[in-house]
Amino acid sequence: MSQLSTKHLLGIKDITEADIRLILETAANFKEVINRPIKKVPSLRDITIANIFFENSTRTRLSFELAEKRLSADVVNFSSSNSSVKKGETLVDTVNNILAMKVDMVVMRHASPGAPHFLARNIKANIVNAGDGTHEHPTQALLDAFSMQEKLGDLAGKKVAIIGDILHSRVALSNIFCLQKLGAEVMVCGPITLLPKYIASLGVKVELDVKKALEWCDVANVLRIQLERQQIKYFPSLREYSLYYGINKKMLQALNKEIVIMHPGPINRGVELSSDAADSEHSIILNQVENGVAVRMAVLYLLAGIKG
């Protein structure tokens, strides 16, 4: 298989295992490219990509922009904070106005779950979902899988614990879908108030004790507490959360095996992860950031070959 089964990347739920494996194989080739002295290839020359972000982003936006420029694409950056959206313009009108300027592909982050799916039904360009509310973040799941594979080899049978604020996390859902399609076992762990009611129906194990989760897993993917999405208090204080669910190096050293620590960023140091754990030999957090560029290059390159 040398082509994706879809013209959009809206979510991991919508793509096949073969699509995931093709993206990861292509990303491995691009990782070799970005480590050369000359890091640019002409693969997307004459393709114009619009980065449309309706929510704040640092890593994802920079990573996509760098991936686009490494592929020699023309890049247009759009931020809703200084646009006509503030004057009442609709999402479809905003994007159609951008497409009228002959843009080929749209990378979009939006606060509303399903916004990229809505857009895909209404416009002709390829859409890449860079995060839609608390729904999905497909490229993060792909770069996480790529980073795990790089460290552990084939993920079939590997045990991955996703620890933290599962309820408000788009990373958790995409990771669950991606890891299951690659044959891994998945556990979610966090305070019961931060676990969605339906979560066990996705075929994941549920654990409330972080020490038991660490003893079970090969990889711990630690998520931050998303205070900006929380309308009510889900736990008494950050100090108490850190006391019961924070991971530190002492806990990792007490395990009878080596495990891998991951985090999609930004890290709240001293809350979900202590500095000595985040910067330890267990951590591949900076590898994730590097791999994000290669994975996003792969996604853009593969989608650019699919029109119609």
DSSP string computed for 202-232? GT-EEES-HHHHHHH-SEEEE----GGG-SS
Percent of the chain with pLDDT over 90: 78
- Does residue 174 lie within any of the structural domains? yes
Q: Are residues 178 and 77 in the same domain?
A: no
- Does residue 242 lie within any of the structural domains? yes
Q: Are residues 167 and 216 in the same domain?
A: yes
Q: Are residues 71 and 91 in the same domain?
A: yes
Q: Are residues 185 and 280 in the same domain?
A: yes
Q: Are residues 31 and 79 in the same domain?
A: yes
Q: Binding site: residue ranges?
A: 59-60, 87, 109, 137, 140, 170, 224, 265-266
User: How many CB atoms are located within 10 Å of the residue 10 CB?
Assistant: 23
Q: Is the pLDDT of residue 308 over 90?
A: no
Total number of domains constituting the chain: 2
116 phi-psi bin (left φ>0, alpha ψ -120 to 50, beta other): alpha
- Does residue 273 lie within any of the structural domains? yes
Query: Which residues are known to be catalytic?
Result: 59-60, 87, 109, 137
| Alpha helices by DSSP H, the chain | 17-34, 59-70, 91-99, 115-122, 138-152, 170-181, 210-216, 238-245, 249-253, 275-278, 285-304
CA distance 118 to 133: 14
- Does residue 53 lie within any of the structural domains? yes
Q: Are residues 175 and 80 in the same domain?
A: no
- Does residue 2 lie within any of the structural domains? no
Q: Are residues 212 and 268 in the same domain?
A: yes
- Does residue 3 lie within any of the structural domains? no
CA distance 249 to 174: 27
Q: Is the pLDDT of residue 80 over 80?
A: no
CA distance 247 to 221: 11
Q: Binding site for carbamoyl phosphate: residue ranges?
A: 59-60, 109, 137, 140, 265-266
Residue from 297, 289, 248, 296 nearest 269 by CA? 248
- Does residue 294 lie within any of the structural domains? yes
Answer with the residue of higher pLDDT: 308 or 221. Answer: 221
For residue range 237-264, what is the model confidence (pLDDT) as tens digits? 888 989 999 999 999 999 999 999 999 9
Q: Is the pLDDT of residue 85 over 90?
A: no
Which pLDDT value is given to residue 83?
Answer: 57
- Does residue 1 lie within any of the structural domains? no
Q: Binding site for L-aspartate: residue ranges?
A: 87, 170, 224
Q: Are residues 198 and 67 in the same domain?
A: no
Q: Are residues 28 and 123 in the same domain?
A: yes
Q: Are residues 89 and 104 in the same domain?
A: yes
User: How many CB atoms are located within 10 Å of the residue 6 CB?
Assistant: 16
CATH code at 17?
A: 3.40.50.1370
- Residue range 75-100: average pLDDT? 77
Residue from 164, 228, 150 nearest 193 by CA? 164
Q: Are residues 252 and 151 in the same domain?
A: yes
Q: Residue 13 contacts by C-beta under 8 Å, 6 or more apart in sequence? A: 136, 177
Cα dihedral 182, 184, 189, 192 sign: positive
Residue numbers of the domain that contains 84: 8-136+289-305
Query: What is the model's pTM?
Result: 0.94
Q: Are residues 147 and 128 in the same domain?
A: no
